[in-house]
Amino acid sequence: MFRSTQDAVLIDQEQNSIHNQPVMLDAIFSKKKLGVIAAENKTTFRIFAPRAFKVILCIFDKPEDEKPSEYILSKDKDGVWENSFSDDKSGKYYGYKVINSAEQNDADTPLCLDPYAKAVTTLNTYLSPRKGIIIKEGNYDWECDTWVRRDWRDLTIYEMHIRDMTAHSSSGAEFPGTYYGLIQQGIKGGIEYIKSLGVNTVELLPSMEFANIELPYKQHELLLDRENTWNPYERNHWGYMTAAFFAPAAYYAEEWKSMRWGKWEGRSGRQVNAFKDMVKAFHKNGIGVIMDVVFNHLSEYEYGNLKEIDAEYYFRLDGGGNFISESYCGNDLKTERPMVRRLIIDSILYWMKEYHIDGFRFDLGKLVDWLTIEDIIHQARKINPDVVFVCEPWGGGYDPTGFSLRGWGAWNDQIRNGIKGENPYNGLGWIFGEWYGNNSIQRIKSYIHGTIVNDSLGLFQKKDHSVNYLESHDGYTLGDFIRIGSREVDPASQIDDVDKHIALSPRQMSLNKLGALFLLTSQGIAMISAGQEFARSKVIPKYSIEPVSGKGRMDHNSYDKDNETNYINYKHTEINKDLVNYYKGLIALRNKYVAFRHTKYNDISFFDITGNDFAVGYELKHNGDIFLVLMNAHQNKSEEFILPNGDWDVLVSPTKAGVEKLSSVKNKLSVSPVGGYVLKRRK
């Protein structure tokens, strides 16, 4: 039975005494199902708030309602507050007032979002006041859909942003920038374009409910005592400010094309089924779905969330009670707390079961404690033994080997920096005929093997754990890195004609193709970022109305832009169609021939090359197939390879790639500067 505030008496003396006692927070744990459990004749509300003095449930008929129906919750011995109703409250909106002391005024207490809210509506401001939406679960027609299960070695991942794939008019989407725009059939952009590349997995940039809006630019915000001096766009485009760990981002289900300040977003709750429709559509096309998830910190300016529920429990604090911020995002979640660990694991399992998600990429994974990392993969594999877990192995440290020992994959930044370089100014890599840092031909060979611990340079227990990539959402695109690194484009110059700028010079084309050839023939998981296949350029529009520096220039950190800097322009896929086709050919090669994914360490043998440290050639043997991969990153010197006996069919040349024979060679082959070949021995 529930108690209304009119009937309730203040928390009794026993509860007062419990609240005032020292609490061993790490000893508190509950197995009760949390959040809202809505059934036909009953609705139960539960929230974990171990040190709260009183918790009030607030239920609203509309998001904009200011006066809710209020109900006092009862607390159990494990810190869970609960109330049940003998009716179905689906479709209503709710939140909690968490009072943490007898002196705290109910009226001045902010409404807190349920950490287990399954759908969320948000008033679009930088403080993001939110309300949960009460929904029923388990009533979606999946049409027999289930997870796409693959050997991790077989993954070819396409990292993408839901909005970016169809927000540009060139996509032809009826609902641009949305879940439905992404999966619309018969248009140039979105799922049909992704499928045409041959990739078998998409990795969605954060798509849990997140904070979209930054503080006002160069205006002191009194409540937070902060001033935004860094983001004139006042936007967080990429989504790395998670607010609700069980709710899909409502922004990508909205009908309008841009954010509306001061409007309630997501009020319809349609984002729940829209997200499921998106996953189901990808699965019908044989494409797995990985979510990029952020459990290391919470949305920085949230007012009415975990900070107001219990900051000491949920966050890492210093001796003065201040938030620790190794994430550089204002706060770090205390993942080692038992109920924070449970929150993370419950979220992962929920997305797997309710949304059929095939895998996860953890942002700043090293900020999540090891016990949680171990428990996550253990619990998830009980549901789907092939579920994918990869991460950034940094954030408060760097330990790709530690993740591999626990069965996780990790982004291999060493192959990224070794092959293309760390920065395009004074940190160029192998494709430019230079060595970045401690890279060498021995490291190049290690990367080809999957950077495994069979040699002294390796990081991973298995090549399945190495996520090989040259571009991600962070930093310059590979195309722009090469434009700058080639010294053919001045990063300080203004770009008047982006279509002309996007077109690759012969040297830039060769560098892009050599990087792609190395990436997609190396052992391990392969990942490309959206637009990498056409040398995408992120140019800040000259006509931008925001007071931003660098208008008309290439941008290396576009998390804040939300405009044509980020959107995929499909006209550019035609301008650099030659590179797109090269990527398609290499992906088709990788898909068809298991040797480029499964060849054993001892079945890869390297050519002995003298006089050219930037040339590498090797033979792969797998199930009777024999291939040669010959690459030359020297900038002005050809390399002649003496071939093993036999007739060799050319499948990949410096200009074309695929699974069809281009020509045949025997005895020897000269590889031009910044070029490469793949040969298959004729049986």
Cα separation, 407 vs 212, whole angstroms: 33
Q: Which two tokens stand for residue 439?
A: 């890279």
Looking at residue 20, its pLDDT comes to: 41
Q: How are beta strands 615-622 and 201-204 bridged, if at all?
A: unpaired
Domain spans of the chain, in order of start? 3-112, 152-243+269-592, 604-681
Domain 152-243+269-592, classified CATH 1.10.357.10, yes or no: no
C-alpha closest to that of 251 among 128, 345, 356, 168: 128
DSSP state of 440: -
Buried/exposed 248-278: b ≥16 CB within 10 Å, e otherwise:
bbbbbbbeeeeeeeeebbbbbbbbbbbbbbb
Q: Quick check: do 3-112 and 152-243+269-592 share a fold?
A: no
Q: Is the dihedral of CA 591, 595, 597, 598 positive or negative?
A: positive
DSSP state of 560: G
Q: What is the pLDDT of residues 199-243, one digit of tens each?
A: 999 999 999 999 999 999 999 988 888 999 989 989 899 999 999
In this structure, what are the phi and psi dihedrals at residue 374, rounded to the nearest 5 degrees?
A: -65, -40
Measured CA to CA in angstroms, residue 261 lies from 216, 258, 299 at distances of 12, 10, 18
The residues that bridge with 625 in the sheet, in sequence order, are 622
Looking at residue 21, its pLDDT comes to: 40
Looking at residue 23, its pLDDT comes to: 52
Looking at residue 46, its pLDDT comes to: 98
- In this structure, the dihedral spanned by the alpha carbons of residues 18, 24, 25 and 27, taken in order and rounded to 10 degrees, is -110
pTM of the model: 0.95
Q: Which amino acid is at 9?
A: V
Q: Is the dihedral of CA 260, 262, 268, 269 positive or negative?
A: positive
Cα separation, 377 vs 389, whole angstroms: 7
Q: What is the pLDDT of residues 643-654, one digit of tens each?
A: 999 999 999 999
Q: Report the first-to-last Cα separation within the chain, whole angstroms.
A: 77
Regarding the domain with residue range 3-112, which homologous superfamily does it belong to in the CATH classification? Immunoglobulins (2.60.40.10)
Cα separation, 248 vs 209, whole angstroms: 5
Q: Is 399 left (phi over 0), alpha (psi -120 to 50) or beta?
A: beta
- 604-681 folds as Immunoglobulin-like (2.60.40)
Cα separation, 190 vs 172, whole angstroms: 9
C-alpha closest to that of 469 among 522, 401, 509, 429: 522
C-alpha closest to that of 565 among 540, 535, 599: 540
Q: What is the pLDDT of residues 403-431, one digit of tens each?
A: 999 999 999 999 999 999 999 999 999 99
Task: Give average pLDDT by consecutive 10-residue segment, the chain, 683 residues.
Answer: 38 41 78 94 96 97 96 97 96 97 88 98 95 94 97 98 96 96 96 98 98 92 88 92 97 77 93 98 98 97 94 96 95 97 98 98 98 98 98 96 98 98 98 97 98 95 98 98 98 95 98 98 98 97 85 94 93 98 98 98 97 97 97 98 97 98 97 98 93
The residues that bridge with 549 in the sheet, in sequence order, are none
Cα separation, 308 vs 110, whole angstroms: 8
